[in-house]
């Protein structure tokens, strides 16, 4: 290895790392992070490898790494090799006959400059300054993750938000003992502060900076699938997309299909992929898509090859500045135009792994039987008819690679969906994720609360899988 770039004090967000890899044409990058999981000496810790395009390593690469790891018989440690990560600069090390250059770089400046190339910072600064009668107030929760230094520079120094607009801004190795997952459950401090009605916009970012939650006045919650759809419908207001016309959109399979309706209206292709940002990589590299999103609070564009929390917040502020409307009204007007894709995600965290696997095995056998098609589920008047049941598989349109076993789907004749997945990003037990989706096109009904619309479908999904029987859980750990 001839050259290694390291963030000052070991700080580097996942989006910033993706940008540095691409800017410096690096072979790849290694990120040490707990991501959106609890961190610290007794909690989660992960190693992420990004390839030369700046994106997460695809399955073929990680599988190859695993195979090589099984053949390793030894490794060597260089004794007394020290590098000062607290000071910018270059240090050279010679090990045997190889000279390696380590450059400690400011982790913030390159990323800030990239954001300035993408967004109109003058317009955003004008938005935040507001007027004498009412400034536009924002509040950002960095959840003691890596985004604090970035958010302080961008939102306070560059865009003029008052001091204190960023909180939990100091990166801590254990995230202050919190769970740095930006959702209504774990970012409750932000939700509480916005609920009082003193702020116009709020955002929370996860531990490594690639996930985001967006809130409007009085903590109006923007469901990730709606966030993706509204941004897709308004990308043309962002300077970057005026220079780089939108090519396509992509969403992960469990993500509600709101963006599909935008794509159909704009005559722009929409791709449905398995869960995992790495599946967007080939689509981005082949210029098939410009905007991607996941229901797990991930949004990003082709400016890098990772999802990007701060980018998403700046994109939303750009839409608000362009439309000159409060966030909640923008969402409601979008629903009235395109219809509303109602969605819920239930997370049953740290359940018994064997019970969860047995549940999924038995459920797959049930929903893939030919006679399951046409089954009526639920009670009158809320009866759903099964269109099909399967285990989602994906054929990549760029290289024709096939990915299987990506989630159990029960699709209804009216377009409603129930999806079950097992997640393995945590370190203890298993997490069952249950997704519900329904659609309402009547503009006069789009304000009906989602728990009313999806109540019957929720009961069907829980009973169909026998979740309580297999897990012992009466209710999910997290609802988003």
* Nearest of 210, 263, 223 to residue 425 by alpha carbon: 210
- What is the DSSP-derived secondary structure letter of residue 44? B
Catalytic residue (one of 35, 178, 252, 290): 35
Cα–Cα–Cα angle for 146, 150, 156, nearest 5°?
Answer: 135
Tell whether the torsion through CA atoms of 173, 175, 179 and 181 is positive or negative. negative
Q: What's the CA gap between 453 and 458, in Å, rounded?
A: 10
35 is catalytic: yes
* Nearest of 254, 265, 233 to residue 392 by alpha carbon: 254
Three-state secondary structure call for residue 369: coil
Element (H, E) at 440: strand 430-440
Peptide bond preceding 83: is omega within 30 degrees of 0, i.e. cis? no
* Nearest of 317, 305, 275 to residue 124 by alpha carbon: 317
Q: Are 14 and 174 in contact (CB under 8 A)?
A: no
Only one residue has tokens 């026998």, namely 466
Cα-Cα-Cα-Cα torsion 162, 165, 171, 175, nearest 10 degrees, comes to: 160
Neighbours of 351 (CB within 10 A): 21
Tell whether the torsion through CA atoms of 356, 357, 362 and 364 is positive or negative. positive
Q: What's the CA gap between 252 and 279, in Å, rounded?
A: 9
Q: What's the CA gap between 22 and 6, in Å, rounded?
A: 15
In degrees rounded to 5, what are phi and psi of residue 214? -115, 135
Q: What's the CA gap between 221 and 227, in Å, rounded?
A: 10
Q: What's the CA gap between 272 and 235, in Å, rounded?
A: 20
Q: Are 148 and 140 in contact (CB under 8 A)?
A: no
Maximum distance among all Cα pairs of the chain, rounded to whole angstroms: 77
Q: What's the CA gap between 392 and 397, in Å, rounded?
A: 16
Q: What's the CA gap between 145 and 91, in Å, rounded?
A: 28
- Residues with a catalytic annotation lie at 35
């Amino acid at each position: 290895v001839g050259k290694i770039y390291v963030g000052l004090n070991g700080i580097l967000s996942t989006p910033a790392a993706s940008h540095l890899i691409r800017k410096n044409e690096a072979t790849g990058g290694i990120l040490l992070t707990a991501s959106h999981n609890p961190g610290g000496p007794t909690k989660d810790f992960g190693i992420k490898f990004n390839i030369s395009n700046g994106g997460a390593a695809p399955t073929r690469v990680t599988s190859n790494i695993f195979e090589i790891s099984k053949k390793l018989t030894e490794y060597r440690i260089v004794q007394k090799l020290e590098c000062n990560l607290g000071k910018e600069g270059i240090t050279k090390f010679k090990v045997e006959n190889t000279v390696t250059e380590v450059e400690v770089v400011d982790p913030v400046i390159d990323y800030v400059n990239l954001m300035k190339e993408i967004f109109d910072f003058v317009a955003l600064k004008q938005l935040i300054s507001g007027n004498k009668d009412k400034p536009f107030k924002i509040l950002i929760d960095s959840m003691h993750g890596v985004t604090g230094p970035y958010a302080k520079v961008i939102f306070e120094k560059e865009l003029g938000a008052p001091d204190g607009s960023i909180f939990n801004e100091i990166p801590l190795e254990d995230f202050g003992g919190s769970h740095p997952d930006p959702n209504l459950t774990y970012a409750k401090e932000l939700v509480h502060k916005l609920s009082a009605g003193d702020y116009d916009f709020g955002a929370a970012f996860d531990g490594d900076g690639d996930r985001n939650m967006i809130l409007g006045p009085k903590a109006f919650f923007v469901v990730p699938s709606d966030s993706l759809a509204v941004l897709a419908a308004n990308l043309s207001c962002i300077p970057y997309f005026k220079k780089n016309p939108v090519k396509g959109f992509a969403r992960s399979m469990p993500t509600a299909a709101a963006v599909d309706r935008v794509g159909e209206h704009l005559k722009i292709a929409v791709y449905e992929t398995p869960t995992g940002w790495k599946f967007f990589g080939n689509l981005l590299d082949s210029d098939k898509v410009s905007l991607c999103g996941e229901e797990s609070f991930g949004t990003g564009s082709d400016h890098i090859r990772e999802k990007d929390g701060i980018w998403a917040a700046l994109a939303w502020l750009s839409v608000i500045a362009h439309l000159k409307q409060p966030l909640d009204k923008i969402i409601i007007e979008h629903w009235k135009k395109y219809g509303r894709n109602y969605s819920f995600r239930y997370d049953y965290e740290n359940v018994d792994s064997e019970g969860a696997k047995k549940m999924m095995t038995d459920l797959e056998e049930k929903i893939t039987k030919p006679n399951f098609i046409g089954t009526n589920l639920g009670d009158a008047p809320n009866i759903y008819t099964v269109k099909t049941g399967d285990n989602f598989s994906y054929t990549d349109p760029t290289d024709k690679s096939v990915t299987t076993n990506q989630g159990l789907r029960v699709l209804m004749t009216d377009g409603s969906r129930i999806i079950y997945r097992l997640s393995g990003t945590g370190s203890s037990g298993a997490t069952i994720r249950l997704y519900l989706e329904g659609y309402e096109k009547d503009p006069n009904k789009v304000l009906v609360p989602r728990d009313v619309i999806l109540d019957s479908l929720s009961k069907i999904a829980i009973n169909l899988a026998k979740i309580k029987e297999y897990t012992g859980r009466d209710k999910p750990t997290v609802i988003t």
